[in-house]
Structure 1
Amino acid sequence: MARSVLVTGGNRGIGLSIARAFAEQGDKVAVTHRGSGAPADLFGVTCDVTDAESVDAAFKEVEAAHGPVEVLVANAGVTDDTLLMRLDEGQFTSVLDTNLAGAYRVAKRATRGMLRAKYGRMIFISSVVAMSGSPGQVNYAASKAGLIGVARSITRELASRNITANVIAPGFIKTAMIDDVTDRRHEEILANVPAGRLGDVEEVAEAAVFLAGASYVNGAVLPVDGGLGMGH
């Protein structure tokens, strides 16, 4: 049976691959964007996850078109990297407001319909950096680590209502972000990945589809990193 799926930041990269994986199996998929538009084969809604009113408006659009959201993938995220000594208050709080507080806002809004239906799947896209840390990414790592606490607390609250909240922690995945690194850094990355290669966005999407179908996996962190973190 087709489910109503919402992927935040689903108009490119990992989010787009996840959205298409759900669409390919027959689900009704919506993706959020911040004004750049969505691919023609997906239902796009404008949404700023740092604004609760914008989140509510986006959910109302999706609910009108596809029904209450049954599978939420909180993927929208940003980076603003710099070393701690140079990291200012604005850089720190803006990354947390999008990556962490944004995930809280969409999860809170999705909960309304999930509780009524006594069914829901929440998937939070974190990062291997959440567990391993990374120089120049104090803000990003903090935001991605926070998602684990969010998901596990939701699990404690809502698991009895047939609602799951799980986390995917991708490692180094072939996206536009990786394209920007130097050849030397690329070699350093590969040297630390037991699989000896970067991951594909489709491999993250496979994990999302699995978690959306797994009713007895809850509060878990699923690494998709080629063995980089060894589950930490």
Structure 2
Amino acid sequence: MQRMGKKIYSEHWEKETESLNNQGIYQTLSKITPKKNTIEIGCGTGVTSRYLASDRKVLSIDNNEHLIEKTSQTLKDMESPPTIIHADIFELTSEILSSIRDFSPIVVTGWFIGSHADDIDKRTDPSLAIYKKPKLYRESIEDIIVGKIGAIDTVEWVHLANRGEISALASEQQIIQATVDEYNARVFSPNGFEVEEVKLLKWDRNRSNFMYVNSPNQNYKGEHTIPVFISILAKRKKT
């Protein structure tokens, strides 16, 4: 197994992005996202940015200069491309936060949050087992998205999307309700948001060569599982 640094990660993610795009995942997610000024956390290779920016203004933030370079190439022919900021969401300066506020975001997206091993190690407890780190890293960024950026008074929507595997024995409604309950309790309700909609998107995992790390699920009892992407759209609560 090859340990990925920034550059290698960007090359592998470019291939995975092509696979997901061919399955229509990004286009579907962009249609779910409200068509308002959008902060995109993680530009990837620019494919998601392109879909989002086709019908709304987008400000994208990423900490990987190799992915930003790929994004710039992807967007070079757009008349109104997204603005891209090279920054680490864990270290948002007052200047960057000011730029975000000036953009007057209505929506914040965080799709398929992840990074290379060095970045994940930096942001998680070094004593943790490797299989626990990506999930904790993602959850930490979700907390920043909803707690810090979501605290900006213009923000009304948060759209997250994660990969997962669901039990073949559970109904779609059971999975959706469990997701609603988990995200409202852990992320949204403490920050004044609530889940508006959850959708399960089919994922042909056989078309992927990306090295995902699977976190054990305490509810897993050995039954057959189905790979999916889970779209979670949340709205600010009315006061």
What's the TM-score, normalizing by structure 1? Answer: 0.50
What TM-score do the two structures reach when normalised by structure 2? 0.49
